[in-house]
Structure 1
Amino acid sequence: MIQFVQAARIASGSIRSSKLRSALTTLGIVIGVAAVIINASLGASFNQFFTDEVTSVGSNFIIAYSDQPNLFYGSELEIIKNTPGISGVSPRKIIPGEISYLSGTKSVSIVGVNGEFQEIQGIKMEEGSFLADKDIYSAVLGYDLAKEEFGRSISHRSNVDIAFRQEDGTLVRKSFKVKGILENSKETIVGGDGSTDMIVYIPISTLNEMTGEQDYGAFFAMADSSENIRDVSDEVDRRLARNFGIPERDIDDEDAKPYTIFNQVDVLEETGALGAALSSFLLVLALVSLFVGSIGIMNIMLVTVTERTKEIGIMKSVGYSSSNIQSLFLLESVMVSAFGGLMGTAIGGLGAYILETALKLPPVFPFKLIEIGILVSVIVGVGAGLYPARKAASMKPVDALRYE
């Protein structure tokens, strides 16, 4: 059996003798492996992005809402609050309104909540503090609204006027003391109030007093641990269903209920499925590129076998066996492919980082991709070089020497 070092030296010499062709052959693998690395890394980044988006709207959250008015009241709030496993719950109601400061007026969304809403939604403050249950005419403003919209910064001790119209058209206007300013936020893909930069939070009791209403639009609750979110959510669902006279057999039928309930686990599963589908799609595209690269290697190796027919005849005539010849050509194919894999992995890692930064995705690079990239390139080299190597090994010395 020919020694590996000697075989590697011969294969390296063959590669160096046709530098341009070897480079072009390697390029196909470089592009294919780089595409696999980039797309796999992007898939992992998208999965992390979806997870971060879900967790950014609160921890262990359970949300019940309805498009029907006058459905949720204080009795439903007590039902959820008294459900085992619930550590906090806040009603939430949103109405359009206006906020005035000095001589400026801006259209905003007025959101009524209670003091537990901050913990449930994971809200962070830039200045001051969030609402407390004892507050009446206090307001918490979004960052952009407080710092940029009026041309002059609103502090957490300023006074603002908040106005909106009741259903009968009556304009209601009250003066509120700004209790806090939210941190600068961003849009989220799930739940919550999206970007809170143009939001005004006020106590929901004050909101209902000003509107003359008593109902709530939704409930935001929090389970006491991440392990039992789904169980607690199901229990809340059962209790609300009983409250509205829905038979137990119809609890799982969303059309039978006047409300919708979902939780953090549900959202994570949906976004996880979306991320997995996206990752699979990107990976398939990358594998197509790698397949094209492998065809390129096979094609070049077949040409190489044809060009080196006389060389093969000479090698066999001086004692090289068919297995020796096959090993030489197979090793040459693997060396070209492995070098391309190393280059593709490096370029893919850099490309993934650049794309993730440009798309503002969390930079996630699974380092196992380095091993996978090199392993895949070696497998491609073996697969693409096997047929040409066998073709070279099967040549008869006499026929090879006579080849013109």
Structure 2
Amino acid sequence: MIKIMQAIRISFGSIWSAKLRSGLTTLGIIIGIAAVVANVSLGESFNVYFSDEINAQGSNFIIVYSQEPNLFYSNELQVIDKTPGITAVSPIKQQLGVVTCFSQKKNIDIIGVTEDYQDTSNIIMENGSFIRDQDAFSAVIGSKVANEKFKRKISTRSSIDITLRLDGNRTVTRTFKVKGIIKPLNASFAGGGIDRDVSIFIPVSTINQMLEKDDFSAFVAMSDNIEDVQNVSDAVDKRLARNFGVSSRDLNDEDAKPYRIFNQADVLEQVNKLANSLGSFLVAVALISLLVGSIGIMNIMLVTVTERTREIGIMKALGFSSTDVLLLFLVESVIISLFGGLLGAGVGIAGAYLVTTILKLPFLYSPYIFEAGLMVAIIVGVVAGVYPARKAAKLAPVDALRYQ
């Protein structure tokens, strides 16, 4: 029986004798494996990117927002604050205001919060400090407000005028001292719908005083840890439902409650589903390329069998068995696939790195991706080579020698 090393040497000779044909066949595998490796890596990169984006918005956050006007007051704030597992909670009151600075007027979102908002939303200060509950007319501004909105950059201790519109077509204007500038987040998602980079934060008591109101539009809270965030969120939901007279049997009926509640675990679950779907789609597209490459190998090996019919007849006349011929053609197919897999895995990793660099995504490379690429290449080589190899092995020596 032919030895495996002898089969490899003969296969390399056959491949080298048809360099162009073998190269084009290998190219199909290179493209298929590269697409699979790159898309698997990109799928993981998107997964991590989306998770990092959400985590940047807050620590173990729970967000409650009203479905009706004038729904949340100090009583609801106390209900959430006293829920076991809640470590911080801030009410939110948001309104579009006109900000005047350096004789320029700009429409900017004004967000009323408490000092707990810094912890619940992972606010990191670039300059100065965040507002405190005892502050009155202090403001903390987003990085784009400080550096891009006006003709000159706003610094800490600068003064800005904020004008809000009241009922009855009235307006109220107050002067605020800039206490701090928030470090830019540069994230695609905004927790609670607030883009901190283009917003101005002031004490919620001050914005309510200006608006002559005492209600809140939403709450953002923080649980002890991410493992308990779902249980704490459910506890908050039950307490608020009871507060608004919603029966326990209607707790899961969103239409029965005048508010909506979601938490970090909910968002991460949805994001992971999105990332997994995206990854599956990318891999499915890549597998189509790999299928085309495997068909190319099968096609070229069938052509090789036809071209080498007389050679096969001579081999059998010299004592090579059908198993020897089968092994020769399988080894040749696997060598083409393995070489294509090596190059394809390298090209795929380089391609994934290039794409993640351009899109500013985290580049993730796990050794198993490279190993999986090679394993897939070998499997493709075996599967694509079985039929041509069996066809070659079944040729009768007399008929093969007569072939012209």
TM-score by length of 1: 0.98
Q: Which is further off, 162-171 or 371-380?
A: 162-171
- AA aligned to 2:334 is V
Separation in 2 of the partners of 1:86 and 1:160? 35
- Residue 358 of structure 1: how far off its partner (Å): 1.5
Could you tell me how far 1:2 is from its partner in structure 2?
A: 1.1
Cα distance in 2 for residues equivalent to 1:340 and 1:119: 52
Residue 192 of structure 1 aligns with which residue? 192
Q: Which residue type is aligned with residue 361 of structure 1?
A: L
1:199 & 1:279 partners in 2: Cα distance?
34
Structure-to-structure mapping, 1:384-399, within 5 angstroms: 384-399=384-399
1:87-109 residue CA offsets vs partner (Å, 9 max, x unmatched) = 00000111010111121111100
Name 2:87's counterpart in structure 1. Answer: 87
Alpha-carbon distance in 2 for matches of 1:9, 1:296: 23
Match of 2:24 in 1: 24
Find the counterpart in structure 2 of residue 135 from structure 1.
135
Q: Determine the structure 1 residue equivalent to 2:343.
A: 343
Determine whether 1:259 maps to 2:289.
Answer: no
- Residues 228-267 of structure 1: per-residue CA shift (max 9 Å, x gap): 1111000000000000000000001001000000000001
Asked whether the equivalents of residues 188 and 194 of structure 1 are also in contact (C-alpha less than 8 Å), the reply is: no
In 1, Cα distance between the equivalents of 2:262 and 2:326?
61
Aligned to 1:310: 310
- What amino acid sits opposite 1:195 in the alignment? D
The answer for the alignment partner of 2:359 in structure 1 is: 359
> Which residue number corresponds to residue 76 of structure 2?
76
Give the corresponding residue for 1:157: 157
CA distance in 2, matches of 1:262, 1:292: 45
Note if 1:271 corresponds to 2:265: no
- Is the 8 Å Cα contact of residues 166 and 172 (structure 1) preserved in structure 2? yes
Letter in 2 for 1:183: K
SS of the counterpart of 1:353?
Answer: helix
- The answer for unaligned runs of 5 or more in structure 2 is none
Question: CA RMSD, aligned part only?
Answer: 1.0
- Is residue 64–residue 218 contact of structure 1 (8 Å, CA) maintained in 2? yes
2:175 maps to amino acid:
S
Q: Post-superposition shift, 1:190?
A: 4.8
Distance in 2 (CA, whole Å) between partners of 1:367 and 1:194 is 39
> Take 1:352 and 1:109, find their aligned partners in 2: how far apart are those partners?
38
Q: Which runs of 5+ in 1 are unaligned?
A: none
Quote how far apart the aligned CAs of 1:303 are.
Answer: 0.5
* Structure 1 counterpart of 2:13: 13
Q: Is the 8 A contact 2:325 2:389 kept in 1?
A: yes
Counterpart for residue 41 of structure 1: 41
Q: Distance in 2 between matches of 1:243 and 1:188?
A: 35
CA distance in 2, matches of 1:5, 1:102: 81
Question: Deviation of residue 158 (structure 1)?
Answer: 1.1
Provide the secondary structure at the position in 2 that maps to 1:72.
coil
Partner amino acid for 1:30?
I
SS at match of 1:365: coil
Amino acid at match of 1:339: F
Aligned partners of 1:65, 1:193: CA distance in 2, in Å? 11
For 2:215, the equivalent position in structure 1 comes to 215
Hey, what's the Cα distance between the residues in 1 that align with 2:254 and 2:70?
19
Query: 1:11 Cα shift?
Result: 0.2
Q: Distance in 1 between matches of 2:239 and 2:149?
A: 44
For residues 144-177 of structure 1, give each alpha carbon's deviation from its aligned partner in whole angstroms, at most 9, with x where no partner exists: 2112322222211111111111122211001111
Task: Report the Cα distance in structure 2 between the residues aligned to 1:109 and 1:148, rounded to whole angstroms.
Answer: 15
Post-superposition shift, 1:211? 0.4
Partner letter of residue 93 of structure 1? K
Q: For residues 161 and 381 of structure 1, what CA distance do their matches in structure 2 show?
A: 72
Residues of 1 paired with 2:325 and 2:108: CA distance?
78
Deviations 1:72-125 (A, max 9, x none): 000000000000000000001110101111211111000000000011100111
Distance between the aligned counterparts of 1:186 and 1:66, measured in 2?
27
Percent identity reads: 55
How many residue pairs get aligned? The number is 404
Greater displacement, 354-363 / 128-137? 354-363
TM-score where L is the length of structure 2: 0.98
The answer to whether the Cα contact below 8 Å between 1:349 and 1:365 also exists between their aligned partners in 2 is yes
